[in-house]
Amino acid sequence: MVLRLKCSSCGHRFTVVAGVTSWLCPKCGGLPEADYGPEWRPEGRGLARYSASLPITPKISLGEGSTPLIFRRFYGVNTYFKLEYLNPSGSFKDRGTALAMTHVIEAGASGVVEDTSGNTGISVATYSATYGIKAVIVVPRTAPEGKKGLLRALGAEVVEAPSRGDAALLAPRIAEEVKGLHVGHTVNPLYIEGAKTLAYEAYEQGFRGDEVIVPVGSGGLALGVFKGFRELVKWGLLDSLPHLHVAEDASLTRVDAPVKIGWGRDEEGGGADALLVPEPPRIKEVADVTALTRGSSVAVSLKELREALRELYSMGFIVEPTSAAPLAALKLLIDEGIIDRGSNVLIPLTGSGLKVIATVSKMLGISRR
């Protein structure tokens, strides 16, 4: 089954197969969306449960998806934490990667190339190992040694580029050379398709909410969660869309939504490292869905992030610092009167703290000198 794509700008239909190095529309350079007719027929477990509403069915499962939804009262708000850090490689990215790697196999590629310094690379390397195909991960030279070591342990070839920007330019060139596929998670629509299953699961686990808060790195999670809830409304399973709020790092605000909270303050940022993606291609789409659901864009300072991280650990959630951004955003939204006490709020806890425990210790101020 070949993945069919449609350009979201000009409507041109196209496919991406082995040796093709760009996910963008060959006619106008627009961003692709998956071209199919989703239906609601849940059956089974994991991502395969939603095969009827996905453009592609995962061939091999590592147990991605079906993550727990944990209820806690937080500042008078009914908070539902979706434990995405319990996915196989420790992040929500596994939902998208499980689909993207199936496409790689069906497109006839012998290997994959991806540029990232974070969770996506580890996710891609994990699934490449499962499928027995070669993975080349292009990282900035400054990527933490621990992450490079984990990539190599998974059998990936690690290529170092001078910067994150250089890595992005280098990856498609390597893909062309090795006749592999560039995973391209910042544009690849399968990462949006994978992320939407998070919304389906939250619905099936009983979440009936008014508010959702997600961190925005490249934007795939926000767009996926929005798409999932929009389909649930379309199918008549929910009456209305929740407000989608996005959490950003105070040092790099990018989502130009009509309602902005915490922007322009003289506060130190930089703690939510996975959110420091300078110009993600889909950031305009994220601003559009935030506006459409009457949500907001919330900038979180290092101090607020640290405080939220401490609270998550006090509740027993072993997450990476970036995962604390939505909880920090929730506090600001309560203070501003945008989220009322008594509201139901969904917060995905996106990545595991076990991969970056040294950073976590430092941020919580408990590392030994």
Q: Please identify which residue in 3, 5, 7, 257 interacts with Zn ion, judged by CB under 5 A.
A: 7
CA–CA separation, 227 vs 175, rounded Å? 30
Rounded to the nearest whole angstrom, what is the least distance from the CB of residue 187 to Zn ion in the complex? Answer: 13
CA angle 102, 347, 55 (to 5 degrees): 25
Q: Does 12 bind Zn ion (CB under 5 A)?
A: yes
Report the residue number, 16 or 161, with the smaller CB distance to Zn ion: 16
Residues in contact with 92: Cβ distance below 8 Å, sequence separation at least 6, in sequence order? 84, 195, 198, 221, 348, 350, 351
Rounded to the nearest whole angstrom, what is the least distance from the CB of residue 24 to Zn ion in the complex? Answer: 8
Q: Cβ distance 332 to 262 under 8 Å? A: yes
Window contacting Zn ion (CB under 5 A); options: 8-16, 135-143, 282-290, 317-325 = 8-16
Rounded to the nearest whole angstrom, what is the least distance from the CB of residue 7 to Zn ion in the complex? Answer: 3
| Site string (22-41) toward Zn ion, x via CB under 5 A | ---x-xx-x-----------
Window contacting Zn ion (CB under 5 A); options: 11-19, 37-45, 304-312, 316-324 = 11-19
Report the residue number, 34 or 360, with the smaller CB distance to Zn ion: 34
Report the residue number, 5 or 135, with the smaller CB distance to Zn ion: 5
Report the residue number, 8 or 57, with the smaller CB distance to Zn ion: 8
Lookup: tokens for 95: 């939902």
Q: Which of 227, 230, 236, 237 is nearest to 203 (CA)?
A: 237
Rounded to the nearest whole angstrom, what is the least distance from the CB of residue 319 to Zn ion in the complex? Answer: 38
Q: Cβ distance 38 to 52 under 8 Å? A: yes
Sites for Zn ion among residues 303-332 (CB under 5 A): none
Q: For residue 306, give the H/E element and its range.
A: helix 302-314
Q: Please identify which residue in 10, 60, 315, 354 interacts with Zn ion, judged by CB under 5 A.
A: 10
Burial letters 256-292, b for 16+ CB under 10 A, else e:
ebebebbeeeeeebebbbbbbbeebebbebbbbbbbe
Residues in contact with 145: Cβ distance below 8 Å, sequence separation at least 6, in sequence order? none
Rounded to the nearest whole angstrom, what is the least distance from the CB of residue 10 to Zn ion in the complex? Answer: 3
Active-site residue, from 6, 93, 196, 331: 93
Rounded to the nearest whole angstrom, what is the least distance from the CB of residue 23 to Zn ion in the complex? Answer: 12
Rg for the chain, CA atoms, rounded: 19
Rounded to the nearest whole angstrom, what is the least distance from the CB of residue 5 to Zn ion in the complex? Answer: 10
Report the residue number, 188 or 297, with the smaller CB distance to Zn ion: 188
Q: Please identify which residue in 9, 22, 344, 359 interacts with Zn ion, judged by CB under 5 A.
A: 9
Question: Which phi and psi (to 5°) does residue 70 adopt?
Answer: -110, 125
Rounded to the nearest whole angstrom, what is the least distance from the CB of residue 89 to Zn ion in the complex? Answer: 33
Active-site residue, from 91, 117, 218, 323: 117
* 163 belongs to the catalytic site: no
Q: Cβ distance 98 to 57 under 8 Å? A: no
Lookup: tokens for 154: 């998974």
Q: Does 354 bind Zn ion (CB under 5 A)?
A: no
Residues in contact with 47: Cβ distance below 8 Å, sequence separation at least 6, in sequence order? 54, 58, 61, 64, 65, 95, 98, 99, 194, 197
Sites for Zn ion among residues 40-69 (CB under 5 A): none
Report the residue number, 27 or 152, with the smaller CB distance to Zn ion: 27
* 128 belongs to the catalytic site: no
Q: Using CB atoms within 10 A of its CB, is residue 134 exposed (0-12), middle (13-18) or buried (19+)?
A: middle
Report the residue number, 6 or 227, with the smaller CB distance to Zn ion: 6
Window contacting Zn ion (CB under 5 A); options: 5-13, 58-66, 77-85, 231-239 = 5-13
Q: Cβ distance 133 to 112 under 8 Å? A: yes
One-letter amino acid of 351? G
Window contacting Zn ion (CB under 5 A); options: 4-12, 132-140, 183-191, 291-299 = 4-12
Report the residue number, 30 or 155, with the smaller CB distance to Zn ion: 30
Binding footprint of Zn ion, residue count (CB under 5 A): 8
By the criterion CB under 5 A, which residues form the site for Zn ion? 7, 9-10, 12, 25, 27-28, 30
Which residues form the catalytic set? 93, 117
